[in-house]
Amino acid sequence: MRSVLSVLAATLLATTATAQDASSRESTAFTLLTDQPRTAEQEAVRIDLVDLSIKVIPDDKAIDAVAELTFTATAPVARLVVELDTLFDVSAVSVDGLAAEWTNPEGRMTVALPRPLAAGDTTTLRIAYAGQPRVAPNAPWDGGFVWSTAPGGEPWIATAIQGEGCDLLWPCIDSPLAEPARVNLHITVPTGLSAPSNGRFLGSEDHGDGWTTWNWSAANPNTYAIALNIGPYAELRADYRSRFGNTFPMHYWYLKSDDPAQAAALFAEFPLQLDFFEATVGPFPFGDEKMGVVETPHLGMEHQTINAYGNQYRLDGRGYDWLLQHELSHEWFGNQLTNANADDMWLHEGLGTYMQPLYARWLNGDRYMQTELAKMQQDLRNQFPVVSGTLKSEDEVYKGETGPGNDIYFKGALIAHSLRMLIGDAAFHEAVTTLVYGRPDPQPGNFTTLYRSTPDFLRIVNDVTGQDYGWFFRGYLYNAALPVLAETREGDTLGLSWTTGDGGVFPMPVEVEIDGVVQTVPMTGGRGSIAVPAGAHVLVDPDNKVLRRLDFVEAWRARPGR
């Protein structure tokens, strides 16, 4: 999410007031990276349960926390390894109730086990830690804690840690491949403030001493999606009756100072957007918990069942709130389906972004879908492939200096559109649904979260269609340059030929409109031709079904001072 939001950075900085401490200590370089290779010890365990008790102390911009992590060994292992920011002071570490020796030099904590674990053995690691966590220099793009103040002067606090990882908040294995089976959260805040978080609400307890604990439980959460949100919130709640037969709650926590009419108008979009996603992809993945949104002092982030919303109810002529819709898309593309590696991040961002023009059409017709797609093509960079085919860190992918950057959003969406135009709506729907749920017939209760890669998606598309679309994935995803469609005229014949960045064969069929009549030109071997009468008006790809280099867009992009 953090890269695409950069286009609104200037607006956000001008309109969002935050109380940040620029002089705060810095986390290590290791901690500020995420999605790095796991150690052998980390690969030899799974996390069955995380129990987090976190007291948030606004006056000190600090937390006081205890984390208990229950592991099961999947292979023999002699020590436990987790990540935790060195900004925290660790007061106690124990394994199964016994004090343990530990080190945490750069933020990768190694804990000695009293005895080695055999495959199938379980153990519980307890870590007590406290201190001032990293302050986000520019959330959500440069993450950490946001210590802000609501219009009424109350504390307004949020976390946004996608780019830097879960170790800014809790001791974890900082990899998308290390999702815990369950996380229980006990968030203690000053009485009078609310603390909505991930999963199901298990009740709150007022301790009578000025502090109240809010309890939550979430199944299979994405590691960076565990989120703190604290503020003087009012709440809107309603039940959503799904087209799949189940019912689950929708919640929106918004500042009490907001215009109630604006909050109600945004909340009214929830069921409309849910119905679109359920019709287009499949059942809401977390219907046994909730669909939740919370207003935050930063622009937004896809926190599982508690998406952050900071768009300030802006209208932009789309007919829907784009931020709400984009973050909701990540419940499917990011939280239900999680990338196997950052190199596959376009499965989150590209497919999620494609849901916006599809939703524009769902609401208001083709004109609005095509408007959004055209704007996306103008914003392409085409400097790096969307997918490299090698393991990457998030920074290498999201930063345009080293990787595709915003192209994982916009180019990914345009590639998805061309794929849908090529294989048809029915096959595209089946392929995407199978990608997300692991089956083409998802129903509430018959699926669980899963990891996916780009080769997985290709295999699914091939299985659904009965054809090999390796050429499509290679030509679009694994090449930086857009395919070029050359046109030649010899007498009454229009010749067409494709050239891709790597020179590979690209048999993408092309529609040609001749005096208002559309015909499809097969491009066997990447070449084709069609008869064109003299004086006829010819329009290649009249419905813009095919992603390709357009000279007029490139000329516009190259204009000085644009």
Burial classification of residue 491, based on how many CB atoms lie within 10 Å of its CB (0-12 exposed, 13-18 middle, 19 or more buried) = exposed
User: Tokens for 517?
Assistant: 């009549």
Work out the pLDDT band at 23, boundaries 50, 70, 90: very low
How much of the chain is helix, strand and coil, in % rounded to 5?
30, 30, 40
The mean pLDDT of 480-493, rounded to a whole number, is: 97
User: Is the CB of residue 68 less than 8 Å from the CB of residue 125?
Assistant: yes
To which H or E segment does residue 231 belong? Answer: none
Residue 411 neighbours by CB under 8 Å, 6+ apart: 346, 350, 376, 380, 382, 386, 404, 476, 547
pLDDT at position 36: 87
pLDDT of 76-88, one tens digit each?
A: 999 999 999 999 9
Is residue 259 scored above 50 in pLDDT? yes
What mean pLDDT is predicted for residues 366-377? 97
Assigned CATH for 484-546? 2.60.40
Give me the helix-helix angle, 454-465 and 425-437, nearest 10°.
140
Which fold does the domain 340-477 belong to in CATH?
Neutral Protease; domain 2 (1.10.390)
CA distance 358 to 259: 30
Q: Which two tokens stand for residue 194?
A: 């609310």
Residue among 2, 391, 328 at smallest CA distance from 163: 2
Contact of 133 with 87, CB cutoff 8 Å = yes
Per-residue pLDDT at 273: 98
Residue 545 has pLDDT above 90, yes or no: yes
CATH architecture of 4-329: Sandwich (2.60)
Residue 177's pLDDT band, with cuts at 50, 70 and 90, is very high
The pLDDT tens digits of the residues spanning 453-470 come to 999 999 999 999 999 999
Q: Poorest-confidence range of 11-20, 259-268, 335-344?
A: 11-20
User: 4-329 and 340-477 share one CATH topology?
Assistant: no
Over residues 522-539, mean pLDDT: 97
pLDDT at 240 over 60: yes
* Mean pLDDT of the region 428-434: 98
pLDDT at residue 249 tops 90: yes
For the chain, the domains span: 4-329, 340-477, 484-546
User: Could you give the CA distance from residue 24 to residue 22 in angstroms, rounded to a whole number?
Assistant: 6
Within 8 A by CB and 6+ apart from 471, the residues are: 504, 505, 506, 507
Assess whether pLDDT exceeds 60 at residue 336: yes
In the block, tokens 């190694």 appear at: 110
- Single-letter code of the amino acid located at 430: E
Binding region for Zn(2+): 326, 330, 349
Q: Which pLDDT belongs to residue 11?
A: 36
Question: Is residue 16 pLDDT above 90, yes or no?
Answer: no
Average pLDDT estimate for 194-215: 98
Q: Looking at residues 499-527, what average pLDDT do you find?
A: 97
* Inter-CA distances, 356 with 222, 320, 411, Å: 23, 9, 13
Query: What's at 93, amino acid-wise?
Result: V
Binding-site residue positions: 326, 330, 349
The predicted model gives 288-294 an average pLDDT of: 98
Pairing of the two strands 291-295 and 307-309: parallel
Instruction: Classify 405 in phi/psi space as left (phi over 0), alpha (psi -120 to 50) or beta.
Output: left
* Alpha-carbon distances, residue 441 vs 429, 430, 445, 517 (angstroms): 11, 9, 11, 38
% of residues, the chain, pLDDT over 90: 94
Amino acid at 187: I
Could you tell me the pLDDT band of residue 316, with boundaries at 50, 70 and 90? very high
**Mean model confidence pLDDT for the chain:** 95
